[in-house]
Chains A and B, each alone.
Chain A
Amino acid sequence: MSALPANPQDRTSDRALSRRSFLRGTAAVSGLAALAASLAPLRELGDFTSIEEFFQKYYKELTPEEMKRVLARIERQVEQQYGVRPHVRDLKPMDGVEFVYCLNLTRCIGCRKCVHACVAENNQSRNPEIQYIRVLKLPHGSLDLEKAQHDYVAKEVPEKGFFYMPVQCQQCKNPPCVKVCPVHATWQESDGITVIDYDWCIGCRYCEAACPYWARRFNFAKPEIPKERLNPDMAYLGNRPRRQGVMEKCHFCIQRTRVGRYPACLEVCPVGARKFGNILDPDSEVSHILREKRVFIQLKEEMGTSPRFFYYFDK
């Protein structure tokens, strides 16, 4: 028999063993209690999700019946939360339409009205702040974005020696965000708008990393929209209020443009720098611009994204 240190507490005493088993049991029970207690914050989870939303199918697989139910659910939820009954539609792309945006860099004065009109139209969160459009102030003669100022403050714009370039989702023909989404939550529709199904997105933020234009935004917290500024005219793929944990971005004001109207950023621009329309229509102003203006650029063209956003100059 090999030499074993005689330690009555740990070796042969039956009483010691049963005491240890008992203590093991109590330790396990208090461990389970600690586990349950660690989940305590979840009691404030509230309306994180519902059974309907959890099982909701992918947008492209919803039958018209199911879509009607989904729209009704959204209307109910918005009314419950904001006290305003919205009108939510599922708008399909129009035939023979491909949208294009042209922006006149000679005209833009950097007033940022487009940023805030977009926020108001599209029910974006105010706290934390989400803004689809970012206006860059660049020095004359350079398109080097590292020289851009984002948070400029001035008594008067435009300031001498600078020009202003608003950037939003470019609705690329070859979108990197669509390529990388692991669940197809974002895709490009036939009229050129890259849309997001907010109820399908899992919030991995791979698309945000992939976008070369920093166009995509994530809801890091529950979005806060002031009741009195809610826009009740909504679309499923557009400006209906989003949830915490999903992506969103400019969608060319889908609730307006798919019923023939101009986007909100264009409507508020005081100098008419923004131009929007159907490139397949030779009489549209965007067709005129792309025909007549000698110089227009697409941002970061070398990325191969083929944006539908053209910046041009008059002089």
Chain B
Amino acid sequence: MIQGTRNYLRFLWRCVRIAFVGDWRYYAWMGVLTALTLIGLNAYCKQLVYGLAVTGMSDEVSWGVYIANFTFLVGVAAAAVMMVIPVYIYNNEELHDLVIFGELLAVAAIIMCLAFVTVDLGRPDRFWHLIPVIGEFNFPASMLSWDVVVLNGYLLLNVHICGYLLYCRYHDRKPAKWFYIPFVFIAIFWAVSIHTVTAFLYVGLGGRPFWNSSIVGPRFLASAFSAGPALIILALQVIRGVTHYRITDKALLTLRSIVQVAMIINVFLLANEVFKEFYSGNLHVASSKYLFLGLHGHHALVPWIWTAVALNLIGMFLLVLPLSHSLKWLNVACVCCIVGIWIEKGMGLVIPGFVPTPLGAIVEYSPTLNETLICIGIWAFGILCYTVFLRMAVPILQGRLAKANEGQPEPDGEPLPPAPSLPASH
């Protein structure tokens, strides 16, 4: 028991230590990310002191880029786990190890989500009011309370699965199936639920006709399963380039199929929305008019949404064409999908719900410098976390950080080869 705990602590200590060593690219990358995170933290301190008036939000548009980014990232977190389906349900061995990279991305995304929600609160010091029993938790009536439950549960699920699998690999032990397989299957359902609950946050508001529509939930999932795996495709190529971890093109192309189908569904659902809003000509379409065409001389969002639509269409066509079997074009398609969906799900979903207000007033929104710095800071922090997770996970998966080589000096910069029998690669 004590030995077990001591082993675990030493494992953690080695993981922490390895996060601080790397080559010059690693130090540069981490340095920049840390600097951006600190700038974001500084901006948040100013927001705490002066209040949310330092953002561009107002009583008319009371949610802004914080909640927009939160919504996008919940989708990324949900989709990151969807790689689990081909591996565990369809027994696709290509993607097997990559599941961990996906789940680590989910953990980083959830951390970013929790950060975005926290910076949006007016009184973050009162967070304990949310804790059941000692606070007053309005579950199950409030969808926000559901969100708190599912997001934290998802975080724990993924931390457990990744942590357990990595720890077993560290000890070169075969993981016990009962200790992680059930959680993997729960994670599949939980991934769908976190995004559906987030969609229901919006759908459940009868006073906002732009959101009060049954298409929001399916659109959330379709766009999440486009943007999430697209991000993973890009991330895996970075991992492959930097650490030379073995990731086959076949794995990337499997993910491409997921993005392809999801994007087609996403665009189809967009067409549905546009038809429903504009064909019947009834009076509840003011928000959609504001978004796509501008309303009464206010048209700040119009260039954004059309850019997003164009990017989505370009991405979809590229994905459908065999052209995107080549990694260069696949990457272009992925970037189009990610940016397009980030715009339409973020600003293109949150802001039009507030314009016009329920009493018909039009007040536009644009984020301030302070708000933008906080967003960049949180993104930098999330990418920093993901980098740290990978910095620990890749050596473990490659066998270079293992119980077997405990006590030896840590690999510094690029790691030494593990076995002398390796043929020379040049």
Q: Are A3 and B426 in contact (CB under 8 A)?
A: yes
Q: Are A204 and B286 in contact (CB under 8 A)?
A: no
B367 in the interface, Cβ–Cβ < 8 Å?
A: no
Chain A's closest residue to B57 (CB) is: A220
Instruction: Return the contact of B59 from the options A45, A200, A218 (Cβ within 8 A).
Output: A218
B248 in the interface, Cβ–Cβ < 8 Å?
A: no
Neighbouring A residues of B53 by C-beta, 8 Å: 128, 220-221
Per the 8 Å Cβ criterion, residues 87-146 of B in contact with A are: 117, 120-127, 129-130, 135-138, 141-145
B182 in the interface, Cβ–Cβ < 8 Å?
A: no
Stretch at the interface among B257-265, B306-314, B355-363: B355-363
Per the 8 Å Cβ criterion, residues 200-218 of A in contact with B are: 200-206, 208-214, 216-218
The contact string, 1 if C-beta is below 8 Å from chain A, for chain B 189-200, is: 000000000000
Neighbouring B residues of A219 by C-beta, 8 Å: 51, 122
The contact string, 1 if C-beta is below 8 Å from chain B, for chain A 288-310, is: 00000000000010011000000
Q: Are A58 and B45 in contact (CB under 8 A)?
A: no
Per the 8 Å Cβ criterion, residues 208-255 of A in contact with B are: 208-214, 216-222, 243-247
B352 in the interface, Cβ–Cβ < 8 Å?
A: no
Neighbouring B residues of A73 by C-beta, 8 Å: none
* Complex-state Cα separation, A180 to B52, whole angstroms: 21
Neighbouring B residues of A40 by C-beta, 8 Å: 42, 45
B48 in the interface, Cβ–Cβ < 8 Å?
A: yes
Instruction: Return the contact of B136 from the options A41, A200, A206, A222 (Cβ within 8 A).
Output: A200
Stretch at the interface among A99-107, A181-189, A259-267: A181-189
Stretch at the interface among B168-176, B204-212, B225-233, B391-399: B204-212
A35 in the interface, Cβ–Cβ < 8 Å?
A: yes
Q: Are A146 and B123 in contact (CB under 8 A)?
A: no
Instruction: Return the contact of A208 from the options B62, B136, B144 (Cβ within 8 A).
Output: B62
Q: Are A42 and B136 in contact (CB under 8 A)?
A: no
B148 in the interface, Cβ–Cβ < 8 Å?
A: yes
A2/B422 contact (C-beta < 8 A), A202-B122, A206-B144 known: yes
Neighbouring A residues of B57 by C-beta, 8 Å: 220
Chain B interface, DSSP helix/strand/loop, else mixed: loop
Q: Are A183 and B137 in contact (CB under 8 A)?
A: yes
* Complex-state Cα separation, A218 to B130, whole angstroms: 19
The contact string, 1 if C-beta is below 8 Å from chain B, for chain A 146-165, is: 11101000000000000000
Q: Give A111 Cβ to nearest chain B Cβ, in Å.
A: 19
Per the 8 Å Cβ criterion, residues 1-57 of B in contact with A are: 20-21, 23, 27, 31, 34-35, 38-39, 41-42, 45-46, 48-53, 55, 57
Instruction: Return the contact of A183 from the options B34, B52, B130, B358 (Cβ within 8 A).
Output: B130
The contact string, 1 if C-beta is below 8 Å from chain A, for chain B 304-335, is: 00000000000000000000000000000000
* Complex-state Cα separation, A108 to B353, whole angstroms: 31
Chain B's closest residue to A220 (CB) is: B53
Chain A's closest residue to B421 (CB) is: A2
Neighbouring A residues of B303 by C-beta, 8 Å: none
Q: Are A24 and B20 in contact (CB under 8 A)?
A: yes
A222/B51 contact (C-beta < 8 A), A49-B125, A148-B360, A210-B205 known: yes
Q: Are A28 and B20 in contact (CB under 8 A)?
A: yes
A6 in the interface, Cβ–Cβ < 8 Å?
A: no
B283 in the interface, Cβ–Cβ < 8 Å?
A: yes
Instruction: Return the contact of B359 from the options A41, A167, A179, A244 (Cβ within 8 A).
Output: A167
A179/B51 contact (C-beta < 8 A), A41-B46, A202-B122, A204-B121 known: no
Neighbouring B residues of A146 by C-beta, 8 Å: 283, 286, 356, 360
Neighbouring B residues of A185 by C-beta, 8 Å: 129, 136
* Complex-state Cα separation, A182 to B142, whole angstroms: 6
Q: Are A205 and B122 in contact (CB under 8 A)?
A: yes
* Complex-state Cα separation, A115 to B121, whole angstroms: 28
Neighbouring A residues of B60 by C-beta, 8 Å: 214
B420 in the interface, Cβ–Cβ < 8 Å?
A: yes
Q: Give A41 Cβ to nearest chain B Cβ, in Å.
A: 4
Chain B's closest residue to A54 (CB) is: B125
Q: Give A80 Cβ to nearest chain B Cβ, in Å.
A: 19
Q: Are B358 and A182 in contact (CB under 8 A)?
A: no
Q: Are B142 and A38 in contact (CB under 8 A)?
A: no
Neighbouring B residues of A244 by C-beta, 8 Å: 51, 122
Q: Give B112 Cβ to nearest chain A Cβ, in Å.
A: 18
A283 in the interface, Cβ–Cβ < 8 Å?
A: no
A10 in the interface, Cβ–Cβ < 8 Å?
A: yes
Q: Give A14 Cβ to nearest chain B Cβ, in Å.
A: 11
Q: Are B51 and A45 in contact (CB under 8 A)?
A: no
Q: Are B125 and A211 in contact (CB under 8 A)?
A: no
Neighbouring A residues of B124 by C-beta, 8 Å: 202
A182/B20 contact (C-beta < 8 A), A144-B283, A205-B122 known: no
Q: Are B45 and A183 in contact (CB under 8 A)?
A: no
B152 in the interface, Cβ–Cβ < 8 Å?
A: no
Q: Are B122 and A218 in contact (CB under 8 A)?
A: yes
Q: Are B39 and A214 in contact (CB under 8 A)?
A: no
* Complex-state Cα separation, A183 to B124, whole angstroms: 13
The contact string, 1 if C-beta is below 8 Å from chain B, for chain A 49-61, is: 1000010001000
Neighbouring A residues of B426 by C-beta, 8 Å: 3
Q: Are B412 and A20 in contact (CB under 8 A)?
A: yes
* Complex-state Cα separation, A181 to B139, whole angstroms: 10
* Complex-state Cα separation, A28 to B138, whole angstroms: 43
B425 in the interface, Cβ–Cβ < 8 Å?
A: yes
**What are 29 A-B interface contacts by the 8 Å CB criterion?**
A2-B417, A2-B424, A10-B23, A38-B39, A39-B41, A41-B42, A42-B49, A46-B49, A128-B53, A146-B360, A167-B359, A180-B143, A180-B144, A181-B142, A183-B137, A203-B52, A203-B126, A204-B144, A206-B142, A206-B201, A209-B63, A209-B353, A210-B207, A219-B122, A220-B55, A221-B50, A243-B123, A244-B51, A303-B206
Q: Which residues of A contact B (CB under 8 A)?
A: 1-3, 10, 17, 20, 24, 27-28, 31, 34-35, 37-42, 44-46, 48-49, 54, 58, 128, 130, 134, 136, 144-148, 150, 167, 176, 179-185, 200-206, 208-214, 216-222, 243-247, 300, 303-304
**Shortest 3 CB-CB distances between A and B: which pairs?**
A203-B122, A212-B207, A245-B122
What 7 new A-B contacts, CB under 8 Å, besides A35-B38, A202-B123, A246-B123?
A34-B35, A48-B48, A146-B360, A204-B117, A209-B208, A209-B354, A246-B122
